[in-house]
């Protein structure tokens, strides 16, 4: 089940240059590149002449030149040059995908181009703000993207999967969460008062005693998830809004389906402390990657036991409320598009 009318991350901005990149999204072969004008573009990765992948070509000016016989294509998919030929027939074109670059992310629209409303990209200002230092990364995940979003909306797995990284106190397994519907999404969150800090946060915030810890995850359809997480020295007023004795991280997760059973996973910690400090950046980048690789192990094993992304026939517990709401909304969106839900 894919929801095509929505914005998905195709790349981090920093990872896209003039060199064309082949990337499969929702089973479609796409070539991403940046023209000489700096604008990101996405075309079908198949030349309309003899079907060579355009990703083996090169950027010339603002166009992408096929590496086989040199036909050139503009960012809108029109053929602009056929070597040795003056007239360019209108049918010489490839499919172009709507692209928008915002928050240091290259977003792609896989559905009906007429519906590509650029105001619908979720606001993620911490990815592009001098008040936050972001450390983006990428993982290729061999599981359906909904299993990843399930995992992110479920806070109780942290106590079991992330013992070495972001779990510090056994009470995390049983502290209840509160789930609520928000516009176009679901939110789930909780406070943990006077808890042992998790290893990664203890190191980042140099905590030597217990903390008040918060975890608030928001999913926005179709595939944007962000968590407001952090902790502060216990009793310093964080639950009342004073986070000055603590550390805050926006943990962002963009899940882009590659196929029914694989996902491009873009993750990023953005912090509001030790801004620009390269050692802290290295530690948090490595720490977040190791953490999400812990999820990857479970998700890939889980994928081998289910059909596509389906959780049909499995047993639910109260902690699944947020993910069940997410799945219900995704089924509705898919049904509205006419794809199989």
In the complex with Fe ion, which residue's Cβ is closer, 34 or 289?
289
In the complex with ligand FES, which residue's Cβ is closer, 47 or 255?
47
Q: Which of residues 41-60 bind ligand FES (CB under 6 A)?
A: 47, 49-50, 52
Place of tokens 């999820």: 295
Does the protein bind ligand FES through residue 173 (CB under 6 A)?
no
* Sign of the alpha-carbon dihedral angle for 271, 205, 180, 152: positive
Beta strands in the chain (DSSP E): 7-12, 21-25, 28-34, 40-44, 58-60, 63-65, 72-73, 79-81, 99-102, 105-109, 133-141, 178-182, 185-195, 211-220, 224-233, 246-259, 262-271
Nearest to 247 by CA among 290, 282, 280, 292: 280
User: CB of 51: closest distance to ligand FES in angstroms?
Assistant: 6
- Residue 52 partner contact from ligand FES, Fe ion, none using kind-dependent CB cut-offs of 5 to 8 Å: ligand FES
In the complex with ligand FES, which residue's Cβ is closer, 83 or 241?
83
DSSP letter for 324, please: H
- Residue 273 partner contact from ligand FES, Fe ion, none using kind-dependent CB cut-offs of 5 to 8 Å: none
- The residues facing 315 across adjacent strands are none
Beta strands in 196-315 (DSSP E): 211-220, 224-233, 246-259, 262-271
Does the protein bind ligand FES through residue 66 (CB under 6 A)?
yes
CA dist., res. 273 & res. 126, Å (int): 13
Does the protein bind ligand FES through residue 24 (CB under 6 A)?
no
Q: Give the pairing type, strands 28-34 and 40-44.
A: antiparallel
The answer to whether the CB of 259 falls within 8 A of the CB of 24 is: yes
Does the protein bind ligand FES through residue 138 (CB under 6 A)?
no
- Residue 115 partner contact from ligand FES, Fe ion, none using kind-dependent CB cut-offs of 5 to 8 Å: none
- Residue 71 partner contact from ligand FES, Fe ion, none using kind-dependent CB cut-offs of 5 to 8 Å: ligand FES
The helix, strand and coil proportions of the chain, stated in percent and rounded to the nearest 5, come to 25, 35, 40
User: CB of 158: closest distance to Fe ion in angstroms?
Assistant: 6
Does the protein bind Fe ion through residue 295 (CB under 5 A)?
yes
Number of residues that bind Fe ion (CB under 5 A): 1
Stretch that binds Fe ion, among 44-52, 108-116, 267-275, 293-301 (CB under 5 A): 293-301
- Residue 40 partner contact from ligand FES, Fe ion, none using kind-dependent CB cut-offs of 5 to 8 Å: none
User: CB of 82: closest distance to ligand FES in angstroms?
Assistant: 8
In the complex with Fe ion, which residue's Cβ is closer, 116 or 155?
155
Phi, psi of 292 (to 5 degrees): -75, -25
CA dist., res. 50 & res. 53, Å (int): 9
Exposed/middle/buried for residue 183 (C-beta within 10 Å: 0-12, 13-18, 19+): exposed
User: CB of 66: closest distance to ligand FES in angstroms?
Assistant: 3
User: CB of 292: closest distance to Fe ion in angstroms?
Assistant: 7
Does the protein bind ligand FES through residue 88 (CB under 6 A)?
no
Nearest to 221 by CA among 52, 51, 8, 14: 8
Stretch that binds Fe ion, among 37-45, 266-274, 291-299, 300-308 (CB under 5 A): 291-299
User: CB of 197: closest distance to ligand FES in angstroms?
Assistant: 57
In the complex with Fe ion, which residue's Cβ is closer, 156 or 184?
156
Contacts of 102 (CB under 8 A, 6+ apart): 121, 128
Residues that bind ligand FES (CB under 6 A): 47, 49-50, 52, 66, 68-71
Residues that bind Fe ion (CB under 5 A): 295
């Amino acid at each position: 089940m894919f929801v095509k009318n929505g914005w998905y991350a195709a790349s981090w901005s920093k990872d896209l240059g003039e060199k064309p990149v082949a990337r499969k999204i929702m089973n479609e072969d796409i070539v991403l590149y940046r023209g000489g004008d700096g604008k990101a573009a996405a075309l079908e990765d198949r030349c309309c002449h003899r079907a060579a992948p355009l990703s083996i070509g090169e950027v010339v000016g603002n166009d992408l030149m096929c590496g086989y016989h040199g036909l050139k294509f503009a960012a809108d998919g029109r053929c602009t040059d056929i070597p040795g030929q003056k007239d360019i027939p209108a049918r010489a074109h490839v499919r172009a995908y709507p692209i928008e670059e915002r928050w240091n992310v290259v977003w792609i629209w896989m559905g009906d181009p007429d519906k590509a409303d650029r105001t619908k990209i979720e606001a993620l200002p911490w990815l592009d703000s001098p008040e936050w230092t972001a450390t983006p990364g990428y993982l290729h995940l061999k599981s359906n993207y909904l299993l990843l979003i399930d995992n992110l909306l479920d806070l109780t797995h942290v106590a079991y999967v992330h013992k070495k990284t972001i779990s510090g106190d056994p009470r995390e397994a049983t502290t209840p969460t509160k789930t609520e519907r928000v516009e176009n999404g679901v939110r789930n969150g909780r406070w943990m008062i006077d808890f042992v800090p998790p290893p990664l946060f203890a190191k980042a915030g140099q905590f030597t005693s217990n903390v008040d810890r918060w975890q608030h995850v928001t999913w926005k359809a179709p595939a944007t998830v962000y968590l407001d997480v952090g902790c502060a020295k216990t009793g310093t007023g964080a639950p009342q809004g004073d986070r000055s004795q603590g550390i805050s991280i926006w943990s962002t997760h963009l899940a882009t389906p590659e196929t029914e059973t694989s996902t491009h996973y873009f993750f990023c910690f953005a912090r509001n402390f030790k801004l620009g400090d390269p050692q802290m950046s290295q530690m948090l980048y490595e720490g977040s990657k190791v953490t999400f690789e812990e999820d990857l192990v479970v998700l890939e094993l889980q994928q081998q036991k289910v059909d596509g992304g389906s959780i049909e026939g499995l047993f639910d517990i109260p902690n699944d409320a947020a993910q069940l709401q997410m799945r219900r909304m995704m089924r509705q969106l898919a049904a509205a598009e006419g794809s199989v839900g």
